[in-house]
Amino acid sequence: MYTSETHQLMSKLASEGQFLSLSRRSPELFTSEKKPLEFTLSNGTLVHIAGPGIIAFTPENKGDKAIILSCGIHGNETAPIEICDQYVVDILTCKLVLGHRVLFIFGNLPAMDKATRFVDENLNRLFSQAHNSASVNQNGYECKRAKELEVAVAQFFNASLSNKAQSSNTSRQNDETRYHYDLHTAIRPSKNEKFAVYPYLHGESHSKEQLSFLLACGVDTFLLSGSSTTTFSYYSSRQFNAHAFTVELGKVQPFGQNDMSRFAAVTETMKRFICGQTIEAKPFENKDMLIYKVNQVINKHADDFVLEFSDDLPNFSTFEKGALLARETGAEYRAQYDGEAVVFPNANVAIGQRAILTVIPTTLV
């Protein structure tokens, strides 16, 4: 049974919808013995709060999709946080009725307050058990949070397996298709403002339907990852066979300073998607998008590693074959193809870490 304070909290959430601001201001409301918190909205939607910043909804008439929208995995990437916050407010106050089960995750709550990317370390490098590695601060906020988020994702994606709502057809296994869009904004500018990283699929084929959907969201550039990583989207892709993407929606701005018109396509299209409405997506054609695959992973081996281009070079800037990209004692790194582009360059990483990724155009057959 819930206490009267908890009942008050639930009716406050249903009347005002301020789940994110309560999670940031008073995370203790959603932890300890009060976890998880479950209640039903007046339109029959079941609300399940697994912890601060982690809220799932099951509409009365749910479709065949299980969708995760995560944001704020980096605390200062405000635009996706504002977009998801608005969805959650509208769902809690019954302005928006979902068509599928949806889990919203607001990742790094303390970093949001500090307006920083993270508190102790990069949360988006700690998934798939990386939070248990000896090289990370296991007592830091992000390691604990990565663990908590992995559990929330697993519970959400596995929920329909044990869901008695399907008892009318008990022979059915989990027949939901799973999706996870991890929404970010980038630190550096990008020649292609909105792009998505498609996690490594271990030989499985890429979903053209998903690329078409993301194109309808305004994302026209895709980077096909070529190896296992410890990102959040790779975790959902690998562990739960979800259609999962790290989606970069533009450049980092402080809270309240985003030009939300730049996010209109993604906000509207994603809203239609979670509400189970039809989406006007063009059938897939390679010519409508830029698709890249990884060519070189350049790691830093010496302290004197330097980039041979300006620090604020936009992501996806291209080079001619043979152009010098970076050097360090004992090595020079050059473009191997005309049109080879650099993404996420960073000379200030630790020795042994990735300093530059280079990509070359490819197409899907």
In whole angstroms, how far apart are CA 276 and each of 31, 73, 81, 124, 202?
31, 26, 22, 29, 30
Residue 74 annotated as binding site = yes
CB of 108 to Zn ion, least distance (A): 10
Tell me if 184 is assigned to a ligand binding site.
Answer: yes
Q: Which of residues 34-93 bind Zn ion (CB under 5 A)?
A: 74, 77
Q: Measured from the CB atom, is 24 or 184 closer to Zn ion?
A: 184
- C-beta closer to Zn ion: residue 63 or 189: 189
Catalytic residue among 121, 248, 328, 340: 248
Smallest distance, Å, CB 123 to Zn ion?
Answer: 9
* Residue 131 labeled ligand binder: no
Cβ neighbours around 119 below 10 Å, total: 18
How do beta strands 37-40 and 54-58 pair? unpaired
Q: Cα(110)–Cα(263) distance, rounded to whole angstroms?
A: 25
**Rounded least distance, CB 77 to Zn ion, Å:** 5
- Tell me the closest approach of the beta carbon of residue 80 to Zn ion, in angstroms: 9
Taking CA atoms, 166 is separated from 40, 46, 63, 67, 170, in Å, by 19, 15, 12, 18, 6
CB 315 within 8 A of CB 190: yes
248 is catalytic: yes
200-235: burial string, b at 16+ Cβ within 10 Å, e else: bbeeeebbeebbbbbbbbbbbbbbbbeeebbbbbbb
Closer residue to Zn ion (CB): 74 or 101: 74
Q: Binding residues for Zn ion, how many (CB under 5 A)?
A: 3
90, 91, 92, 94: CA torsion to nearest 10: 80
Question: In the complex with Zn ion, which residue's Cβ is closer, 74 or 180?
Answer: 74
CA distance 77 to 254: 8
- Kindly tell me which residue out of 24, 145, 184, 238 binds Zn ion, with binding defined by CB under 5 A: 184
- Contact segment (CB under 5 A) with Zn ion among 97-105, 181-189, 265-273, 291-299 equals 181-189
Please calculate the CA angle 69-152-251 and round it to the nearest 5 degrees: 30
Of 179-187, 288-296, 304-312, 321-329, the segment contacting Zn ion by CB under 5 A is 179-187
Provide the binding-site residues for Zn ion, judged by CB under 5 A: 74, 77, 184
Binding residues for Zn(2+): 74, 77, 184
Binding residues: 74, 77, 184
Residues designated as active site: 248
